[in-house]
Chains A and B, each alone.
Chain A
Amino acid sequence: MKKILTTPIQDEDIKSLKVGDIVYLSGTLVTCRDEGHRRVIAENTMPKLPMDRIAIFHAGPIVKDVEGGWEMVSIGPTTSMRMERYEKEFLAKTGVKLVIGKGGMGAKTAEGCKESIAVHAVFPGGCGVVAAEQVEKIEGKEWPEFGMPEAFWVLKVKEFGPLIISIDTEGNNLFETNKVTFHERKEEALAKTSKHIVSMIAKS
C-alpha cells in the first residue's frame, strides 16, 4: 500500500519514516533552490506563502505561460547538496517538514532534520515528465526576478513520488552511509584497475 503524506504534515508521520522508505506527497509543494535559500537565510526575507508543515522541492522546472496562469511541462530534482549550507537554518525558520531533491545532504542537514523534525527524500533524477504529471495545479509564483529555474513556484501535487527517504529524524543518512561503502570499494577497484593498465602500457 502506498504511504502518502498530506500537508500540513504532522510530526508523528515524519517520525515514523526511516531511510529507504518510499512515500508519496499530496498537498502543497514549493520549489526552492539556491537563490530561494539564500534569500530566506542570508537576506532574512520570507516569501508571502506560509511554509509551516509543507514540503519544498529542490527543482527548477520548465513552465509554460498559458491563459490565466501556467502549465507545468517538466520538473525534476536538482542536486540537494548545493543547499547544504543553509538547509538546517531553513528548516528551523520555516517549519518545512519534507525536503525533496536529488542525491544526499550532509551532516548539518541531518542535524537540522533531527532538531526540526523533518526528513530529506529523493525523487528519481531526470524524470521530469513523471513529476510534472503529478502536479495538479500551479497555484502561484513568487520571486519571478530569479528567472524560471530559480523562482519560487507554489504547486498543488497529488501522490507525488516515489520519494525515497534519505535522511530521517534519527540522524540516519542513506547517502552518507553509501559514500563510505563506495570509498572503500573504490580503493580496491582503483588498485586493481591501475595495476592492470600500467602493466598493459609497459608492454610496449
Chain B
Amino acid sequence: MATLNDAQKMVDVLGKFIDIVSKELPDDVMAKLSELRVQEANPLAKTIYDVMFDNLDKAKKLNRPACQDTGVIQFFVRAGAKFPLLGDLRRILREATISATKSAPLRLNAVEVFDEVNTGTNVGTNVPFIEWEIVDDSSNIEIEVYQAGGGCSLPGRSIVLPPLAGYEGAMKFVFDTIVDWGINACPPLVVGVGIGTCSNSAALLSKKAMLRPVGTSHPHPKAAEMEKTIEEGLNAIGLGPQGISGKNSVMAVHVEGMAHHPSVLGVGVTVGCWANRHGVIRFDEHLNYEIISHKGVKL
C-alpha cells in the first residue's frame, strides 16, 4: 500500500533528477557530441564546439543549468498498470517540477494561457506536460523527463499528406523543416520523424523518435535504412554547430511509425538541440530506482 511518505519520497527523487538533467547531458548525447567535435575542420565550428564542451564542464563544476532555457518541463510516463502511485502521479510530477525549479534553479517558463502572464512557478495549466502510456501489467514505472527549450521547439510541426505525395512528400517536408528552421534550433540536432495517420499521431511519434537514445536504430530494417539515409542527406547540407556551417547538421535521425489510413500519410518532425536534456529513471513498487540515461550519477 502506498503511503504519503512514499509519494513524498518520489517527489524528492524526481525533483533531484530534474535538477541534474538540466545540468548534465545524458551519456548517449555526450558520446555523439564528442564524436562529431573531432570531425570539424572549420575554425569557427571548432571554436563553437570548444565553448560547448567548456560550458558542459562549467555547468557540472558550478552546479548550474547548462543552458539558460530550461524549457517547459515535459514527462513521458511508461507505466505498469499496477504501479502503486499511479493515481497520485500527476500531483507528484507537479510537485517535483516546483521543487527542481527552486533547487536548480530553472528558468520560469510557464506563461499561463489566455491571460498570457508568467505564473512565476514554472507550472500552470497542463504544465508540466505529461504523456501517459500503460505498457504492461507490472508494478514498475519508467519516467522520462525532457526539457525542451523554445528554440528547438519552434521547428516542430506535422502535416497530413495525400497518399500520392507519399514518402517523397514526407522527405520534402522533413528537409524543408530542417533547413528553414533548424539553424536557430542549435544544431547539431536530434531529428525525430513520425509517420502517422493524422496530425497528432504523426507529431507524437516524431517526439518519441526524437527522444530515443542517440546511437539506436529502428528494429524494422527499412525504417533503420530510412534513418541512415535521411541522416546522410541532412549532414550533406552541412549546417554545422549553430548553423555557422560545418561537417554535420545532425547528431541523429530517428523514425517511428504506425499503420495509417490508405488515403493519408501523416508526417511529424520534432527536433532536439545539441544540449539535449532528457533523462530516464525507473522505479519499482518499493520506489527503488535506477537512472538509465546518466550512468554513475547519484541523486
Contacts and interface: CB of A to CB of B under 8 A. Distances in A.
A25 to B, nearest CB: 15
B20 to A, nearest CB: 15
A62 B225 contact: no
A194 B105 contact: no
Contact of A78 (B150, B229, B242): B150
B274 interface: yes
B217 interface: no
Contacts of A122: 242, 244
A201 B144 CA distance: 32
Contacts of B65: 62, 73-74, 128-129
B245 A128 contact: no
B44 interface: yes
A60 interface: yes
Interface string B237-261: 1110111110000000000000000
Contact of A148 (B64, B107, B151, B168): B107
Interface in A146-204: 147-149, 162, 164, 174-175, 178-179, 181-183, 185-186, 188-190, 192-194, 196-198, 200-201
Nearest to A80: B184
Contacts of A162: 47, 51
22 contacts: A74-B59, A74-B65, A78-B150, A124-B51, A125-B273, A129-B62, A129-B64, A129-B65, A132-B68, A147-B108, A147-B111, A149-B107, A164-B44, A182-B239, A186-B176, A186-B179, A188-B236, A190-B172, A190-B233, A193-B233, A197-B226, A197-B230
Interface string A48-87: 0000000000011110100000000111101101000000
Contact of A197 (B47, B70, B107, B171): B171
A197 to B, nearest CB: 5
A136 interface: no
Interface in B159-182: 166-168, 171-172, 175-176, 179
A64 B105 CA distance: 8
B224 to A, nearest CB: 11
Interface residues of A, number: 52
A186 B183 CA distance: 13
Interface residues of B, number: 60
A73 B23 CA distance: 12
B175 A178 contact: no
A27 interface: no
Given A194-B167, A194-B172, A200 B222 contact: yes
B198 interface: no
Interface centre among B58, B154, B237 (most CB of A within 10 A): B237
Interface of B is mostly: helix
Nearest to B70: A62
A102 interface: yes
B269 to A, nearest CB: 14
- A-B CB proximity, top 8 nearest: A193-B233, A147-B118, A128-B68, A127-B55, A126-B275, A74-B68, A103-B184, A189-B233
Given A128-B55, A129-B62, A130-B55, A201 B245 contact: no
Interface of B: 44, 47-48, 51-52, 54-55, 58-59, 62, 64-70, 105-109, 111, 118, 120, 149-151, 154, 166-168, 171-172, 175-176, 179, 183-184, 186, 222, 225-226, 229-230, 232-234, 236-239, 241-245, 273-275
A133 interface: yes
Interface of A: 20, 22, 59-62, 64, 73-76, 78-79, 81, 102-104, 122, 124-130, 132-133, 147-149, 162, 164, 174-175, 178-179, 181-183, 185-186, 188-190, 192-194, 196-198, 200-201
A133 B62 CA distance: 10
Contact of A103 (B54, B70, B107, B242): B242
Contacts of A125: 67, 151, 186, 242, 273
Given A73-B68, A181-B245, A201-B167, 8 more contacts: A20-B44, A126-B273, A128-B64, A129-B59, A130-B51, A164-B47, A186-B237, A193-B230
